[in-house]
Amino acid sequence: MRKISVCVTPNLLPLYKNDNQIVVVVDVLRATSSITAGMASGIAKILPVATVEECIALQAAGYIAAGERDGKMVEGFTLGNSPFDYMDEKLKGQTIAMTTTNGTLAIHLSEGAKEIVIGSFLNLSSVANYLATQDADILVVCAGWKGKFNLEDTMFAGALVEKLQGKIDVDCDAAVSALYVYQAAQVDLMMFMEKSSHYRRLKHLDVIDDIAFCLSVDHFDCVPVVQNGKEIVLKEL
Ligand code: 3SL
C-alpha cells in the first residue's frame, strides 16, 4: 500500500528524500496560500526562488518580483506575500518571480521529487483528491520557520492525512502526530492558530485578514505543481 509521511521542517528533509515520491509543500502562512490564490486567480506561472538576489535577477530580466523578508515586501518588489496581492485582475496571464523566507525555500529544497504539489487549506480537498488518484508515496514537507517546527503547517499536514487515511498507509509518527494536532485544531482553526509563533509575528504587521483567509478550507479548486523543476503552473486535471 502507498504511504504518506510528514517532514515537519525542511531541515529534516535529508532523512525523507527520495525521487519516487510526490512531495506536497505547505507554508500556510503565507507562501503556499498566496501561490494557490494567485494561480487560481489567473496568474500564468510563478517562478519560486530561494533568495532575494535570484528574484532581483529575474526582475531585471523583466519578471514581476514578489515576496517578503520578515513578513514585509522586499524593497523594490511589486508584490509582497499577502494572498490578496496575488488575486489581482491585473496579474492574469502574467509570470511572477517569488521569494519568501521559508515557503519558496522549501520548494527549492524539495527538488528531485517525482512531483512537487503546492498545498494549503485553500485547496486542501483538490490536493487530496489528486493525490488519491496517483500511485506514488507522498511526503508532506512543512516549510516551518527558519528550520523549526510550526503549528500551522503541521495542522495542514494532519488535515491531508485525515483526508487520505484508509486509502494510504500512515506509516510515520510525524504523520500520526500531525493528525492529532489537526483533530485538536479543527473545531476552530483560528483559535488554534492564535497559539502559534507566526501568528504573533504577523499580528504586528496588521495582517490578521490574511491569516483568516489562509484558513478558508477549500476556497479554491486547483492543484498548482512545479513544472520542469522551476515554474509553478496549474495541473490540468
Ligand atoms: O516564510 C514564508 O515563506 C512566508 O510565507 C512568511 S510570511 O508569512 O510572509 O511572514
Query: What pLDDT, on the 0 to 100 scale, is given for residue 185?
Result: 98
User: Ligand 1: which residues within 6 Å by Cβ?
Assistant: 27, 29-31, 68, 71, 81, 100-103, 143, 202
Dist. CA 65 → ligand 1 center (Å): 15
Check residue 84 and report its DSSP letter. Answer: G
Q: Rounded CA gap, 157 and 177, in Å?
A: 10
What H or E segment, with its residue span, contains residue 169? strand 169-170
Look at ligand 1, atom 7, and give the residue with the nearest C-alpha.
Answer: 71
Query: What pLDDT, on the 0 to 100 scale, is given for residue 156?
Result: 98
Query: What pLDDT, on the 0 to 100 scale, is given for residue 171?
Result: 83
Partnered with residue 181 across adjacent β-strands are none
Q: Mutate which of 102, 156, 214 to test ligand 1's pocket (most atoms within 8 Å of Cβ)?
A: 102
User: What residue spans define the domains of the chain?
Assistant: 3-226
Dist. CA 144 → ligand 1 center (Å): 9
Query: What pLDDT, on the 0 to 100 scale, is given for residue 119?
Result: 99
Query: What pLDDT, on the 0 to 100 scale, is given for residue 17?
Result: 86
Question: How far does Cα 40 stand from its chain's mean position?
Answer: 14
Grid cell in block for residue 94: 502574467
Partnered with residue 102 across adjacent β-strands are none
Grid cell in block for residue 54: 535570484
Query: What pLDDT, on the 0 to 100 scale, is given for residue 226?
Result: 98
Dist. CA 137 → ligand 1 center (Å): 27
* Nearest C-alpha neighbor of 43 from the set 236, 234, 237, 228: 234
What are the DSSP calls for 94-126, one per residue?
-EEEEE-SSHHHHHHHTTTSSEEEEE-GGGHHH
Helices (H), 139-217: 151-164, 173-185, 189-193, 197-203, 208-214
Q: Which atom of ligand 1 is nearest to the CA of 101?
A: 1
Contacts of 231 (CB under 8 A, 6+ apart): 45, 46, 47, 95
CB 6 within 8 A of CB 138: no
* Nearest C-alpha neighbor of 122 from the set 209, 27, 215, 233: 215
pTM: predicted TM-score of the whole model, two decimal places: 0.98
**What phi, psi does 181 have (nearest 5°)?**
-60, -45
* Nearest C-alpha neighbor of 121 from the set 89, 83, 86: 83
Q: Which atom of ligand 1 is nearest to the CA of 105?
A: 3
Report the first-to-last Cα separation within the chain, whole angstroms.
24
Low-confidence ranges of the chain (pLDDT < 50): none
> Going by CATH, does the domain composed of 3-226 fall within 1.25.40.10?
no
